[in-house]
Amino acid sequence: MNIINHLLLDSAYIDSPNCDDRPDPTDISLIVIHCISLPPGEYDNLYIDQLFCNQLNGDDHPYFKNIFEIKVSAHLLIKRDGACVQYVPFNLRAWHAGVSSYQGRERCNDYSIGIELEGTEQSSYTEIQYRRLAEVIEALLKNYPALSKQRITGHSDIAPGRKTDPGASFEWTKLFDLLV
């Protein structure tokens, strides 16, 4: 995989308005792994795209009543079949981490890249998702020198007590074994 102009090649791109400039555009030093499915446990629909683009209809599903007005995004989504959708160029700040802290440094959105895996905290992720995630991380490591394998974490680690994703079913060892 290659990155040109902060966009992942071989990835669909949907422009999310839920982003802004980073305080320091050269400080990209953390990768945060998340999971998402809308409604929870349902896959392969347009609801994630709609949420990240402020187009989710609160009447489409009871679960959406509490989330359709929130302004969130991630840099990238990896679907169950391994397909990637990028919503925010990597040099911009996506709104994925919320109130967060990594190793004592707050505001993780300022310096992190957020990657969503289509799934739930309770479900297993697919083999192709792990392979694609490893490929994406390898490309990010090549393009952003402040990133390293030691600076990959879960949403649950930067927002403990508030977030639980990617969940206990995420196999960290499998991911790190796939990284070169």
Give pairs for 130-133: CB < 8 Å, separation 24+: 130/171, 130/174, 130/175, 130/178, 131/82, 131/178, 132/78, 132/82, 132/84, 133/33, 133/78, 133/175, 133/178
Q: For position 11, what pLDDT does the model report?
A: 97
Task: Examine the residue annotation and report whether 116 is marked as an active-site residue of this protein.
Answer: yes
Task: Profile the chain (180 residues) by mean pLDDT over runs of 10 residues.
Answer: 96 99 97 98 98 98 97 99 99 98 98 99 97 99 98 98 96 96
Which candidate, 37, 51, 33, places its Cα nearest to that of 153?
Answer: 33
Q: Which domain holds residue 74?
A: 3-178
Total number of domains in the chain: 1
Q: For position 168, what pLDDT does the model report?
A: 95
CATH of the domain at 81: 3.40.80.10
Q: For position 180, what pLDDT does the model report?
A: 80
**The one catalytic residue among 42, 69, 106, 116:** 116
Q: For position 55, what pLDDT does the model report?
A: 98
